[in-house]
Structure 1
Amino acid sequence: MPSCAPMAVDQTLLRAWQLPMPDPDSDKEGRGHVLVLGGSREMPGAVILAATAALRAGAGKLTIATGRSVAQLVALALPEARVIGLAETDTGGFTRDAVATLDPLADKVSAILIGPGMQDERATAVLVHALLPRLAGSDTSVVLDACAMGAILFPPDGVAPFRFLQPVVLTPHAGEMAHLSGAAKDAIVADADHHALDAAARWNAIVALKGARTVIAAPDGVSWQHAGGNVGLATSGSGDTLAGILAGLAARGATLAQATCWGVALHAQAGTRLARQFGQLGYLAREIPAEIPFLLEMIAGRQGSDP
């Protein structure tokens, strides 16, 4: 496995790695269809944040699959979305019936984000492992966030270590990486590059190990790093917006690595812009998505510099 120094995710790299743009004559299908699967009775807002971010990142069509108990609330909050209500477990997950409900969408979505606001890690792992074979061989990009990353800990055959057959994106912070890998959190913080690269190779995933310096690692040993943003991004719901941005970019046709690098940079720069307006502490995760369309244009060189 290569052990090259990580590439800096900066404006030079991103402008040389332009995101796919829809044909001017294309309709919303040409901009990609994203499915956000998540939410629970206690955390319905997570899917709203993630789904809003996916649309702000440029996805053209949005479907949300969430708990039946909160589906109407989510639909009212996001009139742009089709919302599907799923049967729930007593502990905040979804039953296996969700697979049959979602099966007709498997051939229609460009990207699927699983995890924001879900609570039952074991039930979520069962659902992830039931859905992944249905998506195998397709062009659907898969982003696993929060609870859904626990699929690594509960392999379908009970045999560890687990490895995804097709690459997915994983978005752990150091605490989540400790939970998934068994390594100590302090050790992960001290050597984020090693742990991100090792996890990417073992799990066959693009791993975005989040922190003040985010390390992005691919299974082939290529890695990137982004240092930026501010402490204000360490707030409830911020990770949901990042995951939504990644899914929206992937739905547009970005590769998993490209969507992750761009998404991390966009998320950080949105925090920088909000800190100028509100101060470093106190801005809200719900305010992050509105910054994304301008930043997409600015970083790509289609708008003037950020004032």
Structure 2
Amino acid sequence: MEPSARRLWKLLEPIHAVGYFSPEPIALLKDAGYRGYWMGYFAARSAPLGVVPAEVVHAVFYNFAFSHVSRALPDAWGFAPPEAAHEARRSGAIAALRRQLGPLADSDDVARAAALASRAALGAPMEGRPLYAALRSLSVAEDPLALLWDAATLLREHRGDGHISALLTAGIGGRESHVFHALATGLSPSAYATSRNIHETEWSALVAGLRSRELVTDSGDSLTDLGRETKAEIESTTDALAATAYASLEPAEIDELIALLRPLTKAVVASGEIPGQSPMGLNLDDLD
């Protein structure tokens, strides 16, 4: 059985991800003045950091090309401040969840799931986790559905910061991490052309770099034994680091949270707005 931290990530990630993919947050970011999807994305996700140079966002996000980040930042702040970006994404995500969940949105299950998830999210360690810490500095909602999204977002970025630490320790660079994941899972390189601006020339160079370290086979289409061992270690370390967020919950409460989230996440996924498998590393084929 998968570790609880990974099972919870699979269930919480789609709830968080409506802030990227659903029409409501995309529309509100446009209404706030941001030009194009990517300006809205970088403005909204980096908003808790405040007005910082593109270099900082590039470093914290880890896996985007600097040219991609710098086309959006700092220009975005000339249209609307970070507070507006955060509020647009947050309000839009909550509206999307309310639509996707229907009657479930106001259920006792949402309230209980939000209470458990927020206890974990607000008690997680901040050290070495810059994006989580920035989000943690902001207030969270009292409304249960809004609190659930806040908690899912905090826990997502807490895990993400830990994942970056695991990648760094394993010597896998940000751009390399996409190739490494794709070769491990069979995800097509085309998934990264739009989402991460990795095109054929860069992809081939990244494969060559991984091959030179004996992580990728000579054919360049799969991982070697060493590559698979490295990938497994990265994921295991990520799970271990993410698990620290759930130390405040009893084992029975973790099981309860998993059970409560499952129908909520399935309802979100049923909307068809969240990619079933994507560069986020999430495969939604099995939420059980």
Q: TM-score, normalised by structure 1?
A: 0.28
Instruction: Report the structure, 1 or 2, having the larger helix content.
Output: 2
Higher relative contact order (CA 8 A, sep 6+): 2
Q: TM-score, structure 2 length as denominator?
A: 0.29
Structure in which a larger fraction of residues adopt strand: 1
